[in-house]
Chain A
Amino acid sequence: MTTPEGAEVATSAPSRDPWAVLRQATRARVALGRAGDGLPTARELEFRAAHAVARDAVHTALDTGRVRAALAAAGVGLDVLEVHSAAPDRATYLQRPDLGRRPAEGTTLPCGSYDLAVVVADGLSPRAVHEHAAGTVAAVLERLPGWEVAPLVVASQARVALGDPVGEALGARIVVVLVGERPGLSSADSLGLYLTWGPRPGRVDAERNCISNVRPPHGLDYAQAADTLVALLQASRQLGASGVVLKDEGVTLPPGAG
C-alpha cells in the first residue's frame, strides 16, 4: 500500500495510538469513539456546533451597512449601489433559485460604459461577504490601474447569475460576482468569485470562470485570489470571452488558482 513520505517519518517514531498517523492524513472524523452505539457526548456536541455555525451562516441577513463600511475602510473608492433580487425572503430564496437570479421588479441602474462591474452577492453565506468581500475587492482593484470600473453593487438574496442582468444594465463588458458559498461543516465563510464576459440574462455556467474558497487564513488569501482573477480578467478582455474557452486557450494562472 502506498504511503506518502510524511507518514513514513511519523511511523518511525512508534506511538501507542495507531490512529495518530492516520489522523494526520485526513480531516475526516475518524476514530471518534463510541458511547454504546452512539457518539460520545463531546464528539456529538462538536458536530452540532459545526452544523450550527454553518446553518447560522446561511440564515444571517446581509448587513449592507457593514459591507459599505468595510469597503470604505479597505480604501475602495467606488460608489456603492444596493440591489435586491426578486426573492423577497430567505425561505423563498432557498426554494426558488430562479428568483435569486433576477433583480426585484422596478430595479433601475445607471447605464454607462465600463470595462468591469463588481457585484457583491450574499449567496448562501452572507457571513463570507461580511468577512472577505471588502478585502478581496480592494486587492482586485489595486491590480487594475486604468480599468473603468462601474459603481459597485451590493445584492441581497442574490445568486451568481444576478450579475448577468446587473452587469448588462450597468453597461459593463465583464462582470465579477463575489458570492458567499454554501457553508460546509468546517468552512462557513468561504467566498467564491465568478467572472462572466458580456453579461446578459441567459449566460450559462460554462461561460463563467470561478475561483473558489477565498477564506484566509484557511483558504486562498485576498492577494492570491486577486492575482488569479486579474490574470483571468486580462485574458478575458483579450479574447472577448470567458468560461471553458478561456481554459482551452491555456491561460496561465498563478499557483493556488481554484
Chain B
Amino acid sequence: MTIRRTTLGGSTYEFPSLADLLARATPARSGDVLAGIAAESQAQRVAAQHVLADVPLTTFLDEQVVGYDEDDVTRLLLDTHDPAAFAPVAALTVGGFRDWLLDRAAARDEAAISGLARGLTPEMVAAVSKLMRNADLVAVARRTRVVTGFRGTLGLPGRLASRLQPNHPTDDPVGVTASILDGLLHGSGDAVIGINPATDSPAQIVALLQLVDAVISRYEIPTQSCVLAHVTTTVRALEQGAPVDLVFQSVSGTEAGNRGFGVTLDLLAEARAAALELGRGTVGRNVTYFETGQGSALSADAHRGVGGRPVDQQTLECRAYGVARHFEPLLVNTVVGFIGPEYLYDGKQVVRAGLEDHFCGKLLGLPMGVDVCYTNHTDVDGDDTDALMLLLGAAGCSFLIAVPGSDDVMLHYQSLSFQDVLTARSVLGLRPTPEFEAWLARMDLLDDAGRVRELTPEAPAVQALLAAAR
C-alpha cells in the first residue's frame, strides 16, 4: 500500500490508502462525517485534492478501493474495462484529466469526451469530479452525449425530458390517473410514466402496469411505463403476461449493497433479457431503469472496501453507475436529497451532489436523470431545488422527475413540479423528446411557439384527455 503525502501551509498530510485519499479529497458532506472518513479540516481536504491531482489514472486499474476478490462489482468493472476507449487519456493524471475534459468541452468535442465511457472506471470519474467546481461539472456534462431509446429518444441536444411520477398512497386507480393526466397536460412524461407502488404486492403491480399501458395505448403516447417494484416482482408480472416496458431496480456500488437490495448481477441480466424478449420498444431497445443515491450504501452498512475501511459515498455512488451501465439502461437517476440530512445536510450539499452525480453518470456513459428533491428535516427548500434544476438543465441532463405540485403524497417528500419542468425548458430553451413533442402537437397541447399551452378545464384538448377517467 502506497502512503501518499504532501505539505500545505507548513503542515504535512499523509493519506495511507487510495480510499482514504478519495474520501479526504471529497467536498464536504454529512454522510462522510457520519462514516468517520471526511476531511478533518479544510486544509486537509485541499491537501488531499493536491495529492489526488498527481495520481495517474492507471493507478485506478492497479489499486482497488473495494477488493477484486471480495466484490463482484469490482470484478465487473475491471473485467469489462475497455483499454482502447481508455487510450486517449491513459497517460494522464487525475489533474491532467480535468484539464483535458475542460479543454475538450470548450472545443465542443462531444465525440472525444463521450467515447471515453467504457475506458473509464467509476473511481477515475469520482476522482476527477472531486477536483472540479460546480461549473466544471456543468460544462463537461453538457458536452457528453448519451442517447437512448424505447418509444421515445432521450438525451438529444436541446432536449429535457421528465419522468411523470403519479404516486398515490393506496395505488387508487382514479387517483393515479388524475396525476398522470395532470402531468400530460403540462407536457411531462416523455422520459417515463413511472409509479412507485405503495406495496410490492404482485397483483397490485400488474394492475398498475395495465392502467398505465391503457393510457399510453389509448392516446398512442410515444413514451414508456414503469412500476418501480423489486425486479423479481416485475419479472413475475412479466411472466404472467403483464405489459412491462422497463424493468426497474435500485442498485448499489458494492456487492453487499446490492445484496441489501435483494439483487445480484445475474438477476439483473436475466430481468433485462426477459424485457428485451418482449420487444415492446419502437425506436430503441434500452429496457432497464435504475435508481441510485449517495448514502444508500452507508445506510445499509455496505460501504466498506479494502481492509474493511469505509469508502466515501460519492465514490460508491459512481460504482453504482458502473453496475447500471452494464445493463444498457434507458434511464438512470440519482435521488438527491431524499435519504436525509445525515447524508446530505443542506442545499449546498444537495446541489453539489446532484451535479457530481449527473456529471459522473454521464461521463461513464449513462442516460442520466436526477430526482431533485428534499425531505422536511433537510435544510433545503424550493430555492435550492430551483438552482439545481436550472444547473442540470444547462448541463444537458437527460430527464428530471416531476410530481403534482412538488408534493409526493405517497413517499412524503418534495420533488419538482410539472410547472418547474416547464420553467426549466422555457428559461433554457429546451424541448421534450421529439416523439413526445410531436404527440403534444397532435393533441393540440402546444401553442404556435411550441410551448405547452395553459388550458382551462373546458378546453377541448383537456376534455378529450380527461375523458379517460370516465
Contact = CB atoms under 8 A, between A and B. Distances in A.
Q: Are the chains A and B members of one assembly?
A: yes
Helix, strand, loop or mixed for chain B's interface? helix
Nearest to B466: A18
A185 B458 CA distance: 30
A218 interface: no
A79 B285 CA distance: 67
B469 interface: yes
Contact of A4 (B173, B207, B377): B173
Interface string B165-198: 0111100111111110110000000000000000
Interface string A9-26: 001000011110111111
Interface stretch (A31-39, A168-176, A191-199, A242-250): A31-39
A184 to B, nearest CB: 4
A154 B186 CA distance: 49
B423 A37 contact: yes
A34 to B, nearest CB: 5
Contact of A22 (B33, B181, B403, B419): B181
A98 B377 contact: no
Given A51-B381, A98-B34, A183-B376, A2 B405 contact: no
B204 to A, nearest CB: 12
A14 B469 CA distance: 13
A31 B457 contact: yes
A238 interface: no
A124 B378 CA distance: 11
A28 B211 contact: no
A51 to B, nearest CB: 7
Interface in B403-450: 403-407, 409, 412, 414, 417, 419, 422-423, 425-426
B412 A184 contact: yes
The bracket for how many chain B residues form the interface is 35 or more
Given A25-B178, A28-B175, A47-B405, A3 B419 contact: no
Interface in B441-470: 454, 457-458, 462-463, 466, 468-470
B178 A185 contact: no
B211 A51 contact: no
B404 A95 contact: no
B375 interface: yes
Given A19-B466, A22-B174, A185 B407 contact: yes
Nearest to A2: B173
B419 A39 contact: yes
Given A37-B422, A38-B423, A26 B377 contact: no
B15 interface: no
Contact of B172 (A26, A36, A47, A55): A26
The 10 closest A-B pairs by CB, nearest first: A29-B405, A26-B175, A22-B178, A25-B174, A54-B376, A37-B422, A18-B466, A25-B175, A30-B182, A184-B412
Interface of B: 30, 33-34, 166-169, 172-179, 181-182, 207, 211, 214-215, 341-342, 345, 375-377, 381-382, 403-407, 409, 412, 414, 417, 419, 422-423, 425-426, 454, 457-458, 462-463, 466, 468-470
Interface of A: 1-4, 7, 11, 16-19, 21-34, 36-39, 43, 47-48, 50-51, 54-55, 57-58, 94-98, 124, 182-187
Given A2-B211, A38-B419, A95-B33, 17 more contacts: A2-B173, A3-B173, A19-B178, A19-B466, A22-B466, A26-B178, A27-B409, A28-B168, A31-B457, A34-B419, A47-B405, A47-B406, A94-B342, A95-B341, A95-B342, A97-B34, A182-B412
8 contacts: A1-B173, A7-B469, A18-B469, A19-B457, A30-B178, A50-B407, A95-B342, A182-B377
